[in-house]
Amino acid sequence: MGYYLVRYGQTQSNILRILGNGKPLSRRELVEASGLSSKAIGSALRRLWRSGAILRTENVLKERSRVFKGRSGFRSNLRSYYKYAGNSRGLKSTFMYGRRFVEYDKDEFEKQKPIKSKASMVLNFLKSNSGKAFYSKDVVMALKDKGVVCSDVMTNVRKAERKGLVYVRGYRMHDRQTPFQEGYLLTWIDPNKPREEAIHGAVQKTNVALANKAGTSAIIERVHAIRDSIIESTKLKDLVSFEFIRNKLDCSKYEAEGAIRRALQLYPDLREVKVFGIFKYYHHTSISIEELNATMEFKKNYVRMIKGRANRVGHNWEAIAEWFIDKFTTGATFQTQKHRRNRMDPRRITLHLIKSVGNRKQNAEVDRVWQVTPGVFAQPITYVLECKWGLVRKRAVDDFLEVLRWSKDFGVDTPEGRQIKQGVLGVFAGSAFNPKENVRLRDETVISLAKYAARMNIQLLKASDFNEKLRDRGCHKRITVQKICKISRNEKEVREVLEKMWAAPTKSDEILSKVLEKNLGVYDFEKMLEANA
């Protein structure tokens, strides 16, 4: 031991002491045994091997390792390493534990062809093609014959990115960046150029790559269609609405929101403005301030008028659900709440939230709340109604569930987290539920949206359920609650129409025709607004 301390440094002496038991160890095992850094151990091993104090395996060893990474599952990789053994007897080679260990031979070592690392192959590819930008999948395909796989590219590119040698571009979200359909866009940054100029050039190269690849990605096609629509409307001195873009793209609301968000990220000359802080419109920066202000005033007037029709139909749908619930529920007592200026139906209830849900910070509205007492000795059951006109998806049901959980009135803290109080049941009334939407549970079971709502203790009411009640009463098959919603002027008229039809089902067609004729002026005015918008 004293010999080691005099002849070698502290790190080398520690390695010789650990290898003194005669058992060969790898570099990683020596790091764990000594508590020193991998870099220090590696440097000391090279010096000891060259000096003849230790022996190394003649050939590199390969081992497949499998590591558990939590929710992402197991990760597997092939590790290459050498093992080292002490050489206190000064041997040139020896055979132990099924492996041949040899001393350092300068001539033999220099004759070995150096192995080109995958990191150098990836970086040399980007450097040699510095005039272009490549998707990570393209880099993998180009170096596939040399053994490069997907994980090799981004692992080494991220290291080069930290050194400022590679520019990595993806979709920029609020707090993160995600890859394009073909992976991240990669291009070389010339370190010999001024930094600002080099980064500008890298961005331009990725712009060219995005333009050339637009046809292979649905999201990029949407982004370009959005840009074209916004520029077109700006040339016409107009603003383009979110709904117009969504209809043109022919996609869902959430797909349109994602495409618009990415278009604004990719093209800083596109801007978003909000009318009354809610309704989204888009324009190009080439529009003048005067023209923008004038167009904004026109849109405000349009929203004041035309959005009234959406509110009218939506409120009429609430009245439909309320009327049927009141009609077929024995002993239902609806809660009321006084609202400011009496502009809102007193049966609409404002809930106070202890945690934000979506865009609602402190308050959320539900359409109706009523109580039913099943029996003399039974506890009352509270029902909370949420109505939605249009196609209902899982996200809307989950949103309603979150409102109930985090409301002061209907939510409660439990050891399992925030839950809905006992005796509170949610009722979701939708004009139509997406029949194609299924829900995948944690155990990989796939169930329908209706079954999912039932598991969440939420009852679904569909327009078809109400229509069936009208058929059973004897109303004409052409009469539907959807038509009643669209034709009636307001909630009061909805209730009047339903009462008349229920009293005289054989005259239901005649009743609806009279309402339609009476309200023609309302429909013509709404169509005129749409045509001039």
Of residues 297 and 374, the one with the higher pLDDT is 297
Which amino acid is it at 530? E
Which of 202, 179, 73 minimizes the C-alpha distance to 126? 202
Q: Over range 111-132, report the average pLDDT.
A: 79
Nearest one of 342, 394, 387, 388 to 369, comparing CA atoms: 387
**Rounded Cα distance, 38 and 31, in Å:** 6
pLDDT of res. 114: 54
Q: What are phi and psi of 144, to 5 degrees?
A: -60, -40
Amino acid at 390: G
Distance of alpha carbon 292 from alpha carbon 299, whole angstroms: 10
Band of pLDDT at residue 442, cut at 50, 70 and 90:
confident
Q: Is the pLDDT of residue 282 over 90?
A: yes
Q: Which domains does the chain have, with CATH numbers?
A: 2-111 (1.10.10.10), 118-215 (1.10.10.10), 217-287 (1.10.10.10), 309-531 (3.40.1350)
> Residue 94: phi, psi to the nearest 5?
-155, 165
Cα-Cα-Cα-Cα dihedral of 441, 442, 443, 446, to 10°?
Answer: 20
Contacts of 246 (CB under 8 A, 6+ apart): 253, 256
What's CA 77's distance to the chain center, in Å?
29
pLDDT in tens, 378-435: 788 898 988 888 778 888 888 888 888 889 988 888 888 888 888 888 888 887 777 7
Q: How far apart are CA 400 and CA 56, in angstroms?
A: 66
Question: Residue 84: its pLDDT value, please?
Answer: 93
- For the chain, the 3-state helix, strand and coil shares in percent, each to the nearest 5, are 50, 25, 25
- Separation between Cα atoms, residue 34 and residue 26, nearest integer Å: 12
Neighbour-count burial of 469, counting CB atoms closer than 10 A to its CB (0-12 exposed, 13-18 middle, 19+ buried): middle
471/453 Cα distance (integer angstroms): 26
Cα 172 to Cα 148, 283, 300, 358, 360: the distances in Å are: 27, 20, 31, 21, 25
pLDDT classification of 283: cutoffs 50, 70, 90: very high
Burial label, 26 (beta-carbon count in 10 A; 0-12, 13-18, 19+) = middle
What is the average pLDDT value for the chain, to the nearest integer?
Answer: 82
Quote the percentage of the chain above a pLDDT of 70. Answer: 88
Candidate from 145-159, 338-352, 445-459 with smallest mean pLDDT: 338-352
Place of tokens 């570099």: 27
Can you tell me the mean pLDDT for 43-60?
A: 89
SS3 string, 342-381, reads HCCCCCCEEEEECCCECCECCEEEECEEEEECCCCCCCCE
Q: What pLDDT is stored for residue 307 in this prediction? A: 60
Q: Convert 280-317 to b/e letters by CB count within 10 Å (16 or more is b).
A: bbbbbeebeeeebeebeeebeebbebbeebeebbbbbb
Q: In the predicted model, is pLDDT for residue 271 greater than 50?
A: yes
C-alpha–C-alpha distance, residues 108 and 119, integer Å? 26
Phi, then psi, of 489 in degrees rounded to 5? -75, -40
For the four alpha carbons of 246, 250, 252 and 256, in that order, the dihedral sign comes to negative
| Phi/psi of residue 64, nearest 5 degrees | -85, 120
**pLDDT score recorded for residue 110:** 55
Q: State how beta strands 61-68 and 134-135 pair.
A: unpaired
Q: What is the mean pLDDT of residues 257-262?
A: 88
Q: Which two tokens stand for residue 387?
A: 């109505």
The rounded Cα 6 to chain-centroid distance in angstroms is 62
Tell me, what's the pLDDT at 496? 92
362-366: average pLDDT: 85
Q: What is the mean pLDDT of residues 4-22?
A: 78
CA dist 228 and 291 (Å) reads 19
CA distance 207 to 205: 5
Structure tokens at 18: 């650990």
Torsion angle (degrees, nearest 10) of CA 86, 92, 93, 94: -60
Residues 6+ apart with CB under 8 A from 313: 389, 485, 486
Q: Which of 162, 252, 168, 152 is nearest to 205 (CA)?
A: 168
What percentage of the chain exceeds 90 in pLDDT?
A: 10
Please tell me the predicted confidence (pLDDT) of residue 526: 57
Instruction: Specify whether the CB–CB gap between 316 and 482 falls below 8 A.
Output: no
Beta-carbon count within 10 A of 97 CB:
11
Q: How confident is the model at residue 501 (pLDDT cuts 50, 70, 90)?
A: very high
How far apart (Å, rounded) are the C-alpha atoms in residues 417 and 154? Answer: 38
Q: pLDDT band at residue 221, thresholds of 50, 70 and 90?
A: confident
Q: Which of 199-208, 271-280, 394-403, 498-507 comes out lowest in average pLDDT?
A: 271-280
Say if residues 252 and 262 touch (Cβ distance below 8 Å): no
**What integer pLDDT is reported at residue 71 of this predicted model?**
62
The whole-number pLDDT of residue 216 equals 47
The segment with the largest mean pLDDT, out of 61-70, 170-179, 288-297, 439-448, is: 288-297
State the pLDDT at residue 429.
86
**Using one digit for the tens of pLDDT, what is the confidence trace for 67-119?**
776 666 667 777 888 999 988 888 888 898 888 999 887 766 655 555 567 88
Task: Say what the pLDDT of residue 178 is.
Answer: 77
